[in-house]
Amino acid sequence: MTAADPKTRLAELVAEAVRKAFPGAGEATVDLDRPKNADHGDFATNVALQLAKRVGLKPRDAAQAIVAALGGAPEIAKTDIAGPGFINFTLSKASRFGVVAAIASAGAAYGRGRDGEGGTIMVEFVSANPTGPLHVGHGRQAALGDAISSLLEWQGWKVLREFYYNDAGNQIANLALSVQFRIREAAGLASGADLHEDWYRGDYIRDIARDYAAENPGDAKGEDLEAIRRFAVAYLRGEQDADLRAFGVKFDSYYLESSLYADGKVEEAVGMLVAAGRTYEADGALWLRTTDFGDDKDRVMRKSDGTYTYFVPDVAYHLAKFRRGYARAVNVQGADHHSTVTRVRAGLQALAAGIPQGYPDYVLHQMVTVMRGGEEVKISKRAGSYVTVRDLVEEAGRDAVRWFFIMRKVDSHLVFDIDLAKSQSDENPVYYVQYAHARLCSVLREWGGDAASLAGADLSALGTPHEVALAQALAQFPEVLARAAREFAPHLVSFYLHDELAARLHTYYNAERFLVEDEAVKLARLALVAATRQVLANGLAVLGVGAPERM
């Protein structure tokens, strides 16, 4: 059994045994699961239950035949037949602890997979309207999108991180009017009574108005609304970029909604839909037959006043994505975009442009509630009506914010407890994991030896229950990353790091001494310590969270 992947090698051994026991039965799928109870072994398979009817045996008898065909494989210490015919496997000591050597060899690359095989995929996330600073919902998107991108890269995908700026439409028009009002207010030409309910508030609007007036002295009365619009959008794009820098998120590409109109892509998409026979006119509007593709009713594309509804440029944008070579694409958006999924996918299918069904993939996350002192925090000094990402990062720290935004399933409402995020206790999950890493760095510093000398450690000196449990957790890391990438579920990584790896490490740390007098035992335990430190660092890197060496 190879040190790098005992699970794969075990699956190969079982498949060979099946062919030997039942040569005429054809191929069988060997699925290996990890028993919930560690006393039941390292892996279990139901392959005998799959084959029983095909080979004309009871499942337990089929299982016995497979075990007999395995013979005395040195990689397997023990096999048991459980229940109706499950086969449980306990690995040999060499197989269990071979993962330590594999981690030492791979280092920072341990856990990387090849599911992507160099394919290209676009991950679009945040994509906020440039009408204000990024709020905490955008922050959750940023953390999720960046972690999903990283997970895909670890599986061999070539990932493009894209931010789609919605710099067109009514919200941008209201932004310009909001800034114009503050300019006129400062000039004594307007009062609070003139502030429209749809306009934006918050100190940042006054800041934009002040800076516009300073840079455009010829328009002190705010009469050039188009110039105000351009200035406000550019200003807020800069603010959002600063928010993202504070959060440690970088994008490879920025795409402007306005360019879809300027380049004729919206008109082209509408023309394709008309030519495909998927539209009709009624009540002075142009409609798309989205019911042909599973929607509950048809949707207006072009209103009677000639303007397009919001999903039309989205269809044009995703057509452009596909044409740019991104046959796979993932959108990370808030749950309020749920209705968008059906409409955009319907529009893309209606184009008859060869875009596969289900394009793009969507990850829809629930919103965030921020708590401090047991009470909800609702407003920001800068934004007025909501808490911004930068506010949260400045108060709780980037690592804590990233971790908290990732640690729950995306479809779960997230409560961000600022007090917990700032605490240095085992109750704080990111502190708990980072402290595990720092603890191991401290052990290795105290030892003071050359890490290269651990490569020759005799791992047969390991074998306590805590050491077995830790080795089992280390071996799971590549599987966790692969599954998290397939399911676009970075919370699986944070759960693994906290509940599996860090928890087992802290238990081991409290139960055993590492720097013992027995040289063989000491080096073996230090090799296990070094491997655990490496996997903690790799997992934190995937999530964009730091791995401190001292705390």
Q: Is residue 115 a contact partner of residue 155, using CB atoms and an 8 Å limit?
A: yes
Total-model pTM? 0.92
Kindly state the DSSP code that residue 43 receives in the 8-state scheme.
Answer: E
Kindly state the DSSP code that residue 307 receives in the 8-state scheme.
Answer: P
* CA atoms of 201 and 382, how far apart (whole Å): 10
Count of residues in the chain = 551
How far is CA 150 from its chain centroid? Answer: 8
> Which residues, 6 or more positions from 324, have their beta carbon under 8 angstroms from its beta carbon?
122
* CA atoms of 220 and 402, how far apart (whole Å): 42
* CA atoms of 345 and 360, how far apart (whole Å): 7
Q: Is residue 42 a contact partner of residue 89, using CB atoms and an 8 Å limit?
A: yes
Q: Is residue 506 a contact partner of residue 437, using CB atoms and an 8 Å limit?
A: no
* CA atoms of 362 and 341, how far apart (whole Å): 7
* CA atoms of 386 and 379, how far apart (whole Å): 4
Q: Is residue 86 a contact partner of residue 49, using CB atoms and an 8 Å limit?
A: yes
Angle (CA) 354-360-362 rounded to 5° is: 165
Query: What DSSP element (H or E) covers 426?
Result: none
Contacts made by residues 200-204, CB under 8 angstroms, sequence distance 24+: 200/131, 200/132, 200/174, 200/175, 201/384, 201/385, 202/132, 202/380, 202/382, 202/383, 202/384, 202/385, 203/381, 203/382, 203/383, 203/384, 204/132, 204/133, 204/236, 204/239, 204/382, 204/383, 204/384
Which residue in 505, 501, 504 sits closest to 443, CA to CA? 505
Q: Is residue 355 a contact partner of residue 348, using CB atoms and an 8 Å limit?
A: yes
Q: Walk along the chain (551 residues) and give the pLDDT tens digit of each residue.
A: 334 478 888 999 999 999 999 998 888 889 999 888 877 889 999 999 999 999 999 999 999 999 999 988 899 999 999 999 999 999 999 999 999 999 999 999 999 999 998 899 999 999 999 999 999 999 999 999 999 999 999 999 999 999 999 898 889 999 999 999 999 999 999 988 888 998 998 889 999 999 999 999 999 999 999 999 999 999 999 999 999 999 999 999 999 999 999 999 999 999 999 999 999 999 999 999 999 999 999 999 999 999 999 899 999 999 999 999 999 999 999 998 888 999 999 999 999 999 999 999 999 999 999 999 999 998 766 666 789 999 999 999 999 999 999 999 999 999 999 999 999 999 999 999 999 999 999 999 999 998 778 988 999 999 999 999 999 999 999 999 999 999 999 999 999 999 999 999 999 999 999 999 999 999 999 999 999 999 999 999 999 999 999 99
* CA atoms of 391 and 234, how far apart (whole Å): 21
Both structure tokens of 502: 């860090």
**Distance (Å) of CA 342 to CA 133, 141, 332, 523:** 29, 20, 15, 58
* CA atoms of 380 and 407, how far apart (whole Å): 24
Q: What is the pLDDT of residue 329?
A: 98
* CA atoms of 408 and 144, how far apart (whole Å): 10
Both structure tokens of 407: 């640690």
- What one-character-per-residue DSSP string does 363-399 give? EEE--EEEEETTEEE---TTTSSS-BHHHHHHHH-HH
Angle (CA) 106-29-487 rounded to 5° is: 55
Q: What is the pLDDT of residue 37?
A: 80
